Structure formats: C-alpha cells, structure tokens
Amino acid sequence: MLRLSIYLLPILLRIIRDLLQECPVMKAWRILGRPWRLVIIERLMSNPKTFRELMESMPGISSRTLSKALKELRKAGLVERVCDGKRHYYALTDAGRDLKPVIKALRAWGEKWLREPVSAEASQRSP
C-alpha cells in the first residue's frame, strides 16, 4: 500500500497543479502578480501615457523592466499601444479598464489590514 502511495503522489500533485492553473484567479495572478504590473495599470487609469511619462511616474523602475512589463500586458490584452500621428501612447483596453474596481479593492484591503499603510509616495517607488 505504501509503494502505491509513493507512485501516486507525483500524479496527484500534477492533477492539483493543473486544476489550479485553470482557476481564473490563478490565471489573473500570473499576469497581474508580477512586479510593477498593477502599478502600470493604475498609472494608465486616468489617461494614456507615453513610455517616458510612465517612467517618470514610477521612480525605481528600469526602462528594460517597464518595456518587458508593457509587452506582457499588451500580450495579455490589458494595454494597447496607440499612435496619434506624432507620438506613441500606452492606454488600457476595455479589459484593462475593468481592473479599476479590483485595484481599488486591493488598495482598500491593504489600507485596512496591512500594519503599515503604504503612502502614495512609497507606492511610486516600488511595486
């Protein structure tokens, strides 16, 4: 019986992992849970911004990190790159704009339950 359990454990772990990967919360977290992703989306909530404007609004982020994050958010369908004829801007898609209440809820939860509330200035320094 013990041998059977040892052989079944990897199979059971694979099944559990596969089930978790199908969970909508886990799918969303794989995109949004990476460093800077929610901060970028929050910065784009008010209006589209150029790459430079995003860099300036997030002290501490490197241009390489921002570029990679924007690429991933574009691939996920949350951000789009638009051109007005002169400059390129990054803007939220409908799916990205739908995250506004989620971000507000996360902020409210953090302010209520985290011991040291994060100031607006501190949130600009790091994700």
Question: Are residues 9 and 61 located together in one domain of the fold?
Answer: no
Looking at the 3D structure of the chain, how many domains does it have? 2
Q: pLDDT tens-digit profile of 27-48?
A: 888 899 999 999 999 999 999 9
- Among candidates 22, 19, 96, 81, which has minimal Cα distance to 49? 81
How much is the pLDDT for 126?
A: 54
Supply the range of the domain harboring residue 74.
33-125
Question: How far apart, in whole angstroms, are the C-alpha atoms of residue 112 and residue 110?
Answer: 5
* 9: Cα separation from own chain's centroid: 33
**Residues 94, 40 within the same domain:** yes
Same domain, residue pair 94 and 54: yes
Confidence of residue 59 (pLDDT cuts 50, 70, 90): very high
Confidence of residue 123 (pLDDT cuts 50, 70, 90): low
Say yes or no: 60 and 21 in one domain. Answer: no
121 — pLDDT class (breaks 50, 70, 90)? low
pLDDT at 117 exceeding the cut of 60: no
Q: Give the Cα separation of 99 and 45 in Å (integer).
A: 9
Please report, for the domain that includes residue 78, its CATH number: 1.10.10.10
Residue 119 CA to residue 31 CA, distance in Å, equals: 24
What is the model's pLDDT at position 8?
79
